[in-house]
Structure 1
Amino acid sequence: MNAPASSPRDRAHHGHDAEARQDNWIERLRSFVGLGAAPTLREEFAEALETGDEADLSISALERVLLRNVLALKDTRVDDVMVPRTDIDAVSEDMSFAELLATFQEAGHSRLPVHRGSLDEPAGMVHVKDALALIARAAADGGLDAGGVAFKARIADLDLVRPVIYAPPSMAVSDLLTRMQSLHIHLALVVDEYGGVDGLVSIEDLVETIVGDIEDEHDDAEEARIAPDGAGGFVADARASLEDVVEAVGTDFDVSAYSDDVDTIGGLIVTLAGRVPAQGDVVQGPGGRRLEVLEADPRRVVSVRIAPPAPKREDAESDTPGGAADAA
């Protein structure tokens, strides 16, 4: 399927520079870890990580996690990281410019898909930079009037629609990342064999498969909760800070050895596991407490259960027949 040819005539030059810098950063990261390099180099990295010979690579626990995530890109499908259709914020090409601005403010995204009445009839996408550039030009031409024609005009009539990439659900994340870099298009619609839209993937979604969840200054700040589970343990949002977790759980949950590398309980469990663990995975944490992943997706841990500390050996023996208490 071909992407729409329509694109804004007058894009800010610094916009291209910003996207080029982002592309270069991603390319340097991919080159550093060997993605796209000779298969033998990739195999050497994978073997060292698999056998626990990370010391030979002189890398930290956090770097080990990043390496694992990058090497997993070729085996991660687009539909593993996409925003599902039901969660997509999109606009119709018949929407007015004023309504578009309101949607940008409400959705909090920099790019929005544009459709011709239905998501299954995509027209492309609109970038907030182009909307702001239109306002700036109107101001330079004699001021802004909220009732003026520009604010009432349809999106389709304002030459704001950029092309998007179309990707099948089975496409490898690494291939989509390469395609986004080469085309300088940072939004893809995931389409099924019949042309229906299944989901959406932004370049931020792809980067998050490597570095974890990215929250910028426009993301809603929600308090990360830590609550007793009624069985001596705690259930925590993975974003809860280690400082807050220690305050709730107790000082026996000593995380000082990891505080330089990670800030959250989610980061701690990823570091201990050496990868992004799946739902149901359990790792041994500080203070004899087991950490169980209650919810996770391919990019991050969402919630964790911190189990009560395991009983000490002498305590367990004293509670069993023939234990230390009976021996006395």
Structure 2
Amino acid sequence: MSSEPRLPVPSLGDAAASAADGVGGDGRDLPSSRSFFGRFFDALTGAEDDPSHDESKPQTGSTPSIINLRRMRVDDVAVPKAEMIAAPDDIALNDLVELFREHGFSRIPVYHETLDHPLGMIHLKDLALKHGFGAKGPFDLLSMLREVLYVPPSMYIGVLLQQMQQRRIHMALVIDEYGGVDGLVTIEDLIEQVIGEIEDEHDEAEGTMCLAEKPGQWLVQARMPLDEIEAKTGFKLDNVEDEEDVDTLGGLVVVLAGRVPQRGEVITNDAGIQFEVVEADPRRIKRVRMRLPADLVAATQSQTKEVVKPHDS
């Protein structure tokens, strides 16, 4: 018997099941190309195996793909305990509001004394409806707590995604063999392994991938290609002598640091250009502030003045 568990079939309606099988609800055959949801459900049930894929091989740095539901485990995507943002059960209302404001999350786990004693999670919407919009009344955090899932690190992310869908709980805490909390994972973390990074209204638009804040300083999305940044700023950045190819600014910063740096760290290359990590999570860098050294800024400004100098009439 295979040691790898088969994921259970999601409970779908007859129409969805027929669509996944390539048959329309009125008996018509659908086109042979699979719809996204058809392939999604096939990946959950194992009906669309990739014959060229060897699941016995370790998967590192996986790109977004439906097959990740069956080959990646919770431990591969969870935020580690040291990086978790959580609130104690005795936190004051103003401090809790500031915690939401500072980190921009919609859900925050709540614990008693230590993270190894979780009580549930607080949803920003519940807090706003009960204590926002000028509402007044006693603050009772425990009465607003919602349930979280508790899962082992070895669970396949497809199984967890299905549990989140069925139980309508979008946050899970990863529990180690001793019952302590080892990390945190949200439904967004799981879906991003299938379709790629999800951006909402608070994320910056593509047109602002490189924003000039002042002379010699830019706020750049880490996924922006190096050649585009170099064309926009006029400075060569990829002077790292390394066997690994670097295509994006985030990749360059990781190579310079030798690891994934944390938010607030400043990395400097050989030319003196500083890269400040503005936004990051444990797995990747998201935004970087790039600063030129003072001599390069002065040289750039002088060259600009010469270019725009009006001709004598």
Conserved 8 A contact 2:44-2:70: no
Counterpart of 2:272 in structure 1 is none
Alignment deviations for residues 66-94 of structure 1 (CA, whole Å, 9 cap, x no partner): 5xx21122111111111111111111111
Give the aligned CA root-mean-square deviation in angstroms. Answer: 4.1
- The equivalent of 2:83 in structure 1 is 87
CA-CA distance at 1:246 after TM superposition: 6.9
Distance 1:86-1:219 versus aligned 2 partners, 3 A rule: farther
Q: Structure 1 residues 208, 193: CA separation in 2 closer, same or farther (over 3 Å shift)? A: same
Tell whether the 8 Å contact from 1:210 to 1:299 is kept in structure 2 after alignment.
no
Match of 1:115 among 100, 111, 115: 111
Deviation of the 1:300 alpha carbon: 6.9
Question: For residues 215 and 242 of structure 1, do their structure 2 counterparts lie closer, same or farther at Cα, with a shift above 3 Å needed?
Answer: farther
Q: How does 1:127-166 map to 2 (within 5 A)?
A: 127-135=123-131, 144=135, 149-150=137-138, 153-156=139-142, 159-166=143-150
What TM-score, normalized to structure 2?
A: 0.53
1:168 aligns with 2:155: no
Q: In structure 2, what is the Cα distance between the partners aligned to 1:194 and 1:98?
A: 34
Q: 1:47 to 1:238 in 2, by over 3 A?
A: farther
8 Å Cα contact 1:209-1:299 kept in structure 2: no
* Counterpart pick for 1:200 among 153, 159, 184: 184
Q: With structure 1 as the length reference, what TM-score do the two structures score?
A: 0.51
Name the SS for the 2:70 alignment partner: helix
Measure the CA separation in 1 of the matches of 2:37 and 2:84: 29
1:214 to 1:134, Cα distance in 2 relative to 1, 3 A: same
Partner of 2:43: 35
Q: Partner of 1:209 in structure 2?
A: 193
- The alpha-carbon distance between structure 1 residues 219 and 100, as it changes in their structure 2 partners (threshold 3 A), is farther
User: In the TM superposition, what is the alpha-carbon distance from 1:237 to its structure 2 partner?
Assistant: 6.9
8 Å contact kept, 2:120–2:145: yes
TM-fit CA distance, 1:191: 0.8
User: Paired residue for 1:99?
Assistant: 95
Q: Does the Cα contact within 8 Å between 1:108 and 1:218 map onto a contact in 2?
A: no
Q: 2:311 corresponds to which residue? A: none
Contact 2:151 2:173 in 1 (8 A): yes
Q: Do the aligned residues in 2 keep the contact of 1:84 with 1:199 (CA within 8 Å)?
A: yes
Mapped partners of 2:87, 2:43: distance in 1: 36
How many equivalent pairs are there? 202
Distance 1:281 1:209 in 2: 24
1:215 Cα deviation from its structure 2 partner: 3.7
Q: What CA distance in whole angstroms lies between the structure 1 residues aligned with 2:141 and 2:101?
A: 16
Q: Matches of 2:121 and 2:204 in 1, distance apart?
A: 23
Q: Structure 1 residues 73 and 99, CA, compared in 2 at 3 Å: closer, same or farther?
A: same
Would you say the 8 A contact 1:90–1:113 is kept in 2?
A: yes
Counterpart CA distance in 2 for 1:213 and 1:72 is 14
Answering whether residue 33 of structure 2 is matched by residue 47 of structure 1, we say: no
Matched, 1:75 2:71: yes
**Structure 1: stretches of 5+ with no match in the other structure:** 1-23, 51-64, 226-235, 251-279, 286-290, 304-328
Q: Aligned pair in 2 of structure 1 residues 91, 299: CA closer, same or farther (>3 Å)?
A: closer
Q: Deviations over 1:143-199 (max 9, x none)?
A: 54xxx543xx2412xx11000000111111111111111110000001101111111
Aligned-pair CA distance for 1:212: 2.3
